[in-house]
C-alpha cells in the first residue's frame, strides 16, 4: 500500500507546504547550549486535531492545548524540553498560557491558535525568564524541521522524523516525535507533531487521527508507564490545494499515509526505548476482538519478565503466554499457539519441541518477531516494544539527581 507513496529523504515536520520551524537554546535543559525551545508554524490557518494522555495527572500544557483546540484551528505549536510543567499547579497553567501568548505576540497570531507542549522533569516550574528570552529569538524557516526534532529530545538517543509524499495526489504528510521512557500510551514522556498540506474537514481530521493513533502510538510500550504529557498533534493547512472529500481516492491515500507516518514514528520510539537493545514486534491473531488483541499486546510488551527474557535472548515462552493470560482478553490456553522468529514453541496449547540454541540466536537479532495466535476469532493487531537492560535502571535511578 505504501508503494503508492514516496518517503522523502530527510523529511521532517516542515516538509508539508506552508510549514516552518525554529529552534533556540534557551537554557531550560541542564546541558550547555542544548536546543530546548522550538516552534512549528503554519503560514495560514490550519485545522487542528490532537490526542492527549488519559492519565488523570495531566500536565498544564495538555490542559491548555485541549482548551485551545475547542476552536478547531491552530497556527503554531510552541514546545519546550527539560521541564514537563506537570504537577506545577496554577503557576504552571499560567506559565503555559504565557508561552502561547508570547509566541502569539512574536508572530502576530491570536493566542488561542497557539498550542503548547512540554517534556522533561515533573514537579519543576518553568524558568520563564529564559523561556521569554528564547521565544524572542525564534526564527522559523522551511528547513528547521530537523532542528525541531532534536530540540524536543530528552533521554532520546536519536531524533525521530519522517515525511511521505503522494505523487498521485500531490500532498505531503510529515512529522516528528520524541519519547524513550515513560512510554505506554493511553490516549506515551511522548510527544508527536504531524503536519499535512491537505484541506480536510475538522471532524474527519480528528476521526482519522484517533484511528491512526490506535494503530500506532497506542500499541507501543517501553516500560508500562503512561505519562502526564502525552500528546499527538496534527495540523492540516490546505497549502497543497488538495481538498479531501470523504470516500474519494485522495482521502483514502491520506488515511494510509497518515497511518504509515504514525506507525513509523511509534516504532522509532519503541526502538529508542531507554536502555533498549532490541525492537520487539508482536502480532496477535485469532483474537475475539481488536480490543482484546490490543489488551494482549500492551500487557505482553510491558511485562518486565518478557522484556528481560528478550534482552537475555532466553526463549522462555511461558512468560509471554502468562502475560497474555492476565491481559483481560478472552483466553483459552488449549487454543493458543506461539511462534518466536519463525520457530513454533506452542501449538493448540501444547508445547512443541524446538531447538533452544537456534531460538536464542534469533532472539539476539536487533529486531525480534513474536506471533501469538489466540485461536478464538478473526481479529488481529500488531504492536511494538523493546527489551529491558541494566541501562534502563541506570537512566531512571538518578533521573533528577
- What number is the average pLDDT over the span 136-158? 94
Helices assigned H by DSSP within 226-311:
249-271, 290-301, 304-311
Residue 3 has pLDDT above 60, yes or no: no
CB atoms within 10 A of CB 231: 27
Confidence of residue 1 (pLDDT cuts 50, 70, 90): very low
Q: Which residues pair with 21 in a beta bridge?
A: 40, 141
Residue 188 has pLDDT above 70, yes or no: no
- What number is the average pLDDT over the span 104-120? 97
Residue 401 has pLDDT above 90, yes or no: no
Q: List Cβ neighbours of 171 (8 Å cut-off, separation of 6 or more).
A: 16, 165, 196, 197, 198, 240, 242, 250, 253, 254, 257
For the chain, the farthest-separated pair of C-alpha atoms sits apart, in whole angstroms, at: 68
**In the chain, where are the structural domains located?**
2-271, 279-397
φ, ψ (nearest 5 deg) of residue 155: -90, 0
Residue 199 has pLDDT above 60, yes or no: yes
Residue 283 has pLDDT above 70, yes or no: yes
DSSP, res 327: S
Confidence of residue 259 (pLDDT cuts 50, 70, 90): very high
CB atoms within 10 A of CB 333: 14
Q: Are 13 and 21 in contact (CB under 8 A)?
A: yes
Residue 183 has pLDDT above 70, yes or no: no
Question: What's the pLDDT at 85?
Answer: 95
Residue 187 has pLDDT above 90, yes or no: no
Sign of torsion over alpha carbons 273, 279, 284, 289 = positive
Provide DSSP, 136-155: HH---BTT-HHHHHHHT-SS
Residue 69 has pLDDT above 60, yes or no: yes
Question: What's the pLDDT at 185?
Answer: 57
What count of residues does the chain have? 401
First to last CA, the chain: 47
CATH of 2-271, one of 3.40.1400.10, 3.30.390.30, 3.90.1010.10, 3.60.70.12: 3.60.70.12
**d(C-alpha 299, C-alpha 330), whole Å:** 13
**d(C-alpha 303, C-alpha 286), whole Å:** 21
**d(C-alpha 144, C-alpha 155), whole Å:** 21
Confidence of residue 52 (pLDDT cuts 50, 70, 90): very high
Question: What's the pLDDT at 399?
Answer: 58
Q: What is the mean pLDDT of the chain?
A: 91
Q: Which residues are catalytic?
A: 189
- What number is the average pLDDT over the span 373-380? 96
Q: Calculate ∠ Cα 375-380-385, nearest 5°.
A: 110
Per CATH, the homologous superfamily of domain 279-397 is ArgJ beta chain, C-terminal domain (3.10.20.340)
Residue 235 has pLDDT above 90, yes or no: yes
Confidence of residue 79 (pLDDT cuts 50, 70, 90): very high
- What number is the average pLDDT over the span 140-165? 94
Question: What's the pLDDT at 15?
Answer: 98
Question: What's the pLDDT at 186?
Answer: 56
Residue 366 has pLDDT above 60, yes or no: yes
Q: Which residues pair with 41 in a beta bridge?
A: 20, 76
Q: List Cβ neighbours of 60 (8 Å cut-off, separation of 6 or more).
A: 85, 86, 88, 92, 93, 95, 96, 118
**d(C-alpha 261, C-alpha 232), whole Å:** 12
Amino acid at each position: 500500500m505504501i508503494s503508492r507513496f514516496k518517503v522523502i529523504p530527510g523529511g521532517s515536520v516542515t516538509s508539508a507546504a506552508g510549514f516552518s520551524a525554529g529552534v533556540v537554546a534557551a537554557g531550560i535543559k541542564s546541558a550547555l547550549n542544548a536546543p530546548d525551545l522550538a516552534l512549528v508554524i503554519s503560514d495560514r490557518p490550519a485545522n487542528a486535531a490532537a490526542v492527549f494522555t488519559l492519565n488523570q495527572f495531566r500536565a498544564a500544557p495538555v490542559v491548555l492545548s485541549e482548551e485551545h483546540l475547542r476552536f478547531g484551528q491552530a497556527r503554531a505549536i510552541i514546545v519546550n524540553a527539560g521541564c514537563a510543567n506537570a504537577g506545577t499547579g496554577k503557576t504552571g497553567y499560567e506559565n503555559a498560557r504565557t508561552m502561547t501568548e508570547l509566541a502569539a505576540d512574536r508572530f502576530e497570531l491570536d493566542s488561542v491558535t497557539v498550542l503548547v507542549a512540554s517534556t522533561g522533569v515533573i514537579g519543576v516550574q518553568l524558568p520563564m525568564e529564559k523561556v521569554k528570552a528564547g521565544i524572542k529569538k525564534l526564527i522559523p524557516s522551511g528547513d528547521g524541521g530537523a532542528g525541531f526534532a532534536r530540540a524536543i529530545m530528552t533521554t532520546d538517543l536519536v531524533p525521530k522524523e519522517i515525511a511521505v509524499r503522494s505523487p498521485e495526489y500531490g500532498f505531503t504528510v510529515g512529522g516528528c516525535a520524541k519519547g524513550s521512557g515513560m512510554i505506554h500510551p493511553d490516549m506515551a514522556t511522548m510527544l508527536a507533531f504531524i503536519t499535512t498540506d491537505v484541506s480536510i474537514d475538522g471532524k474527519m481530521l480528528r476521526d482519522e487521527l484517533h484511528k491512526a493513533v490506535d494503530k500506532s502510538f497506542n500499541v507501543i510500550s517501553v516500560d508500562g508507564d503512561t505519562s502526564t504529557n502525552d500528546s499527538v498533534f496534527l495540523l492540516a493547512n490546505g497549502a497543497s490545494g488538495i481538498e479531501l472529500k470523504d470516500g474519494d481516492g485522495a482521502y483514502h491515500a491520506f488515511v494510509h499515509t497518515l497511518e504509515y507516518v504514525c506507525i513509523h514514528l511509534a516504532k522509532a520510539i519503541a526502538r529508542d526505548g531507554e536502555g533498549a537493545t532490541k525492537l520487539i514486534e508482536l502480532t496477535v491473531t485469532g483474537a475475539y476482538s481488536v480490543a482484546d488483541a490490543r489488551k494482549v499486546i500492551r500487557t505482553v510488551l510491558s511485562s518486565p519478565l518478557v522484556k528481560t527474557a528478550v534482552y537475555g535472548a532466553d526463549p522462555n515462552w511461558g512468560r509471554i503466554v502468562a502475560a497474555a493470560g492476565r491481559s483481560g482478553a478472552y483466553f483459552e490456553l488449549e487454543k493458543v499457539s506461539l511462534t518466536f522468529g519463525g520457530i513454533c514453541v506452542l501449538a493448540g496449547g501444547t508445547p512443541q519441541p524446538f531447538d533452544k540454541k537456534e531460538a536464542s540466536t534469533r532472539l539476539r537479532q536487533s529486531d525480534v518477531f513474536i506471533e501469538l495466535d489466540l485461536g478464538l476469532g478473526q481479529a488481529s493487531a500488531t504492536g511494538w516494544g523493546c527489551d529491558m537492560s541494566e541501562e534502563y535502571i541506570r537512566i531512571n535511578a538518578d533521573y533528577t539527581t
